[in-house]
Chains A and B, each alone.
Chain A
Amino acid sequence: MSKLTIGFIINGQKKIIETTPFTRLLDLIRDDLHLTGTKEGCGKGECGACTVIMNGELVASCLILALQADGAVITTIEGIGSGGHLDPIQKAFVETGAVQCGFCTPGMILAAKKLLEENPYPTEEEIKRGISGNLCRCTGYQKIFDAIKLAANRLSTRDGGRGEKDA
């Protein structure tokens, strides 16, 4: 069995790691790097639980080969906020009750983050489209829409949308 070496930056840290031709990026993140915030739901790109941001784009890590991440810059949920210091989007999710079982939450937060980066003042329809790749089986979505609206409001009024100060 061949091992192949790849290098990438994940949550700001440079990693060089051996992997195989049949390892998915999701498995590399969870099993090799032990970043278990990224979840596996369907394994077929339909549920969004494995969502990460790679090279600035929202992607499903179950549909990417670990090898394809060679040279990439990746952010997982562990790279959002730090320790007890929540990102404004995370804080809004907590406050509005947008988290129930929590399995979809890491993917939802990352999808919301990308959405608000590209569109700081989304309409409800735009929010729905922005998180259309992420399934939630608990909340009925309304609380998630509320959370994203709250985060959008706070981010835009506080510091021009960069969200660096409070939280």
Chain B
Amino acid sequence: MHQRTVPCQYFAPQKIEEALEILSQYGKEIKVIAGGTDLLVQYYDRLYEVCSWLDLKNIKELKDIRINKNQMEIGAMVTHAQLEKSEDIKKYFPVLSQAAADIGSPQIRNRGTIGGNIVNASPAGDLLAPLMAYDAQFRLLSIQGEKIVSAEDFFLGPKKTILEPAQLLTRIILPLPSERTYGCWIKIGKRKALIIATITLALVVKMAEDNKTVKDIRACLGSVAPTPIEIKEIREKMIGKKFNQLDFNQLGQIVEDKISPIDDIRGTREYRKDVAKEIMINALEEIDSAGRERDY
């Protein structure tokens, strides 16, 4: 049996400041827990290894979704179910809303959190490509102070991020998109519920005032690289062009060429490359046909 020298502790503070104090004191000796839907799977056969827990469940300010001037602020403890049901998220960030609705099952969505999805940093984390596509920034707090970091700079590799043991991810900040921003979410997996994605695509397009010329674009994918990635070459090819005059096939080919996925139980490298191209084309067509309907 495991011999422990210090008594185990369970902390469930109500204030962020208390949580930060505990973190600075315990560092790696304590496990931070939010919904637990990833953590308890990882620790399925070795839960006894964890002695002390810092549970964020009582910190109210981590649970709200609010608009602050021109940005949306989402607390790290907001659940996937909350994201899915929020009218504001649906309105401004439909790709994120749909991605949240596709996660796991009701049981998982009721417990799993956006902050957990981010710090767990699975290459297949469903919310990560959408967050990147909406230019999300993460607020990291420690007793030393705050650090704001972009989604792109946060992820280092599978399950690896820049988050330090004394830091807590507290808030996700999304700039409110301009009018005429359109998006598409595609998740490919072997079944609908409770599936880890084989590949995901979050496409967000901002049109200029004529509603036809591409002003800005993000094509972000999950499950095709060690971290969620943006295909930046797509920006060069699309910005400034009329959307309906673009060569969708060529754009799909760029996505296929620029990713280097691995073979795993969810799909081969070759399969992922083929599918990446197809879903890029499908997403462009979907945005195009929605655009044509608007013109009628």
Residues of A participating in the B interface, judged by any CB pair closer than 8 Å: 1-2, 4, 20-22, 24, 43-46, 48, 51, 57-60, 62-65, 67-68, 70, 111, 114, 129-130, 132-134
Contact = CB atoms under 8 A, between A and B. Distances in A.
A-B residue pairs, 7 tightest by C-beta = A133-B105, A132-B193, A2-B8, A22-B47, A57-B110, A60-B107, A133-B107
Nearest to B4: A1
Interface residues of B, number: 35
Given A22-B50, A64-B111, A132-B192, A45 B104 contact: yes
A111 B40 contact: no
The DSSP consensus for interface residues of chain B is loop
A70 B12 contact: yes
B235 interface: no
Interface in B33-57: 33, 35-37, 40-41, 44, 47-53, 55, 57
Contact of B106 (A21, A24, A130): A130
Given A1-B2, A63-B111, A67-B55, 4 more contacts: A44-B44, A64-B36, A70-B12, A132-B105
A116 B111 CA distance: 20
B7 interface: yes
B41 A44 contact: yes
Interface of B: 1-2, 4, 7-10, 12, 33, 35-37, 40-41, 44, 47-53, 55, 57, 81, 104-108, 110-111, 192-194
B7 A24 contact: no
Contacts of A64: 36, 40, 111
B36 A68 contact: yes
Nearest to B45: A43
Contact of A133 (B9, B48, B57, B194): B194
A63 B42 CA distance: 10
Contacts of A60: 37, 107-108, 111
Contact of A59 (B10, B41, B48, B111): B111
A21 B50 contact: yes
Contacts of B107: 45, 48, 51, 58-60, 63, 133
A2 B4 contact: yes
B51 to A, nearest CB: 6
B288 to A, nearest CB: 27
Contacts of B1: 1
B137 to A, nearest CB: 29
Contacts of B105: 45, 48, 132-134
B62 to A, nearest CB: 15
Contacts of A111: 106
Contacts of B33: 65, 68
A62 B36 CA distance: 10
A68 B55 contact: yes
Nearest to B2: A1
Contacts of A132: 105-106, 192-194
A51 B10 CA distance: 24
Contacts of A44: 41, 44
B110 A21 contact: no
Contact of A63 (B4, B8, B41, B53): B41
A53 B145 CA distance: 38
A104 to B, nearest CB: 13
A152 B125 CA distance: 35
B37 A114 contact: no
A60 B57 CA distance: 16
A24 to B, nearest CB: 7
